[in-house]
Amino acid sequence: MRRPFIAGNWKMNLNRASAVALAEAIAKRAEKIEGVDMAVCPPSCYLDAVGRAVAGSSVALGAQNMYHEPDGAFTGELSAAMLRDMACKYVILGHSERRHILGETDAMINKKVHAALAAKLIPILCVGELLAEREAGQTLAVIRRQFDGSLAGVTAEQMATLVIAYEPVWAIGTGKVATPSRRKRSISAFARS
């Protein structure tokens, strides 16, 4: 069985001082926790400062996104090598906001997954359905499509290094709670299909 993993995605929140303070507090509390891998994923502009705040602790650094190309004229993007240079261990890919607000496709995410793996970053691949998809009984089809598209060409050996985050989009801001039994039913049904 894999070790439990907890990662905090800070999204577009905090400023430099509060990001460092939060990272330091998490690193301090993490000293008392055993048997769990942990990571923090701050906004990219704070990766360096937060990385220094958690350095030497059991808390790893992760990025919220990356681009699939190694370098070039891609204004505003970050490459896997840049993230490695900032001491990132993880990178979140396929987050629902990237998929549903910014229009990232499974094919785009797949390129990022391969680029991350090639750079020895651990992808945290997010999958999950919208409320309308869940209510229409499409949960399994949506997750299957996301798996098949986002993980195309990924080997079994590479799969062993990935983190899959089931992120039920229907539970974000809807007032509906993603209880462990609801998540378990979705994941168990997917595993049987």
Single out the catalytic residue among 95, 104, 114, 129.
95
Of 2 and 8, the one with more pLDDT = 8
Residue 177 has pLDDT above 90, yes or no: no
Q: What's the whole-number mean pLDDT along residues 6-35?
A: 97
Residue 62 has pLDDT above 90, yes or no: yes
Q: For position 183, what pLDDT does the model report?
A: 53
Residue 98 has pLDDT above 60, yes or no: yes
Residue 88 has pLDDT above 70, yes or no: yes
Single out the catalytic residue among 68, 104, 114, 167.
167
Q: How far is CA 65 from CA 81, 155, 187, in A?
A: 13, 22, 24
DSSP 132-165: HHHHTT-HHHHHHHHHHHHTTT--HHHHTT-EEE
Stated pTM of the model = 0.90
Q: In what order do the strands lie in the sheet with 163-166?
A: 5-9, 37-41, 59-63, 90-93, 122-127, 163-166
Query: Is 95 known to be catalytic?
Result: yes
Q: For position 176, what pLDDT does the model report?
A: 75
Query: Is 68 known to be catalytic?
Result: no
Residue 149 has pLDDT above 60, yes or no: yes
